[in-house]
Copies of this chain bind each other. A is one copy, B any other.
């Protein structure tokens, strides 16, 4: 596995690969890899013949009060994991090369970004869209793989790619969960044992909602109420939002007609956790 930290070198590697008609796959990550990331990597392996994984903790997607400095990092461990998966390139550019002084151009997916998580994390999706666009221009992948836990992010990237005519196939990969049901997240590292136990209410509440829908419930208000109640049973959880919305526009729905996204964000201690599921009527 080659480790590249120079933007120019990454670009040359990709251009050479394209000239040899390689199909290049990119899995963008912020590192501190877990099984969720590795499932993206394995999906990527299937989708092309050259696989690049970027590890870059993007400062522009953290608000000032957020956990940019605390965000867990372990490049050596990431490197070992990616090596084992047969990744071709680990791209790990330094922050000051990605966002040099004077850098001021941003990308905004205007209607999708302020919804759901965007209402609480100001500027977050602007930072995400901007860095992903930059990675697309540097790595020039044919395919890019994103996890579905970050469902809004996935929709925003899809929209950006379409709106800005990027020639990249965006693939969404299913949420990977621990045996206890907790969705994999690098931020799970923040949880104490007790908090991890409390965090299980997130996935439990989604299963609860699915069960209600199977029983015929269609009213968003009642489903959201039940989901909140499930989470708020425990004393350690603080709900940020629970929302039922259209799976593409992310606009709120009053009732489930065909299918709807149930998305939620919950604070457990200092970890802000998100989870979601598609409810099918």
A residues contacting B by CB (< 8 A) are: 7, 11, 102-112, 129-130, 133-134, 137-138, 159-160, 162-167
Q: So how many copies of this chain end up in the complex?
A: 2
Q: Which of B104, B160, B165, B166 contacts A109 (CB 8 A)?
A: B104
Q: Which of B103, B129, B164, B167 contacts A163 (CB 8 A)?
A: B103
Q: Bound state CA distance, A164 and B102, in angstroms? A: 12
- Which residues of the other chain, B, contact A7 by a CB distance below 8 angstroms? 165
A61 to chain B, nearest CB (A): 16
Q: Bound state CA distance, A192 and B112, in angstroms? A: 46
Task: Output the nearest chain B residue to A103 by Cβ-Cβ distance.
Answer: B163
A263 to chain B, nearest CB (A): 19
- Which residues of the other chain, B, contact A110 by a CB distance below 8 angstroms? 104-106
A247 to chain B, nearest CB (A): 14
Query: Is A138 a contact of B165 with CB atoms below 8 Å?
Result: yes
Using A105-B163, A134-B165 as known contacts, list a sample of 13 further A-B pairs with CB atoms less than 8 Å apart, ordered by residue number in A: A7-B165, A102-B159, A104-B109, A104-B110, A104-B111, A104-B159, A105-B160, A107-B108, A107-B164, A130-B164, A133-B164, A137-B164, A137-B167
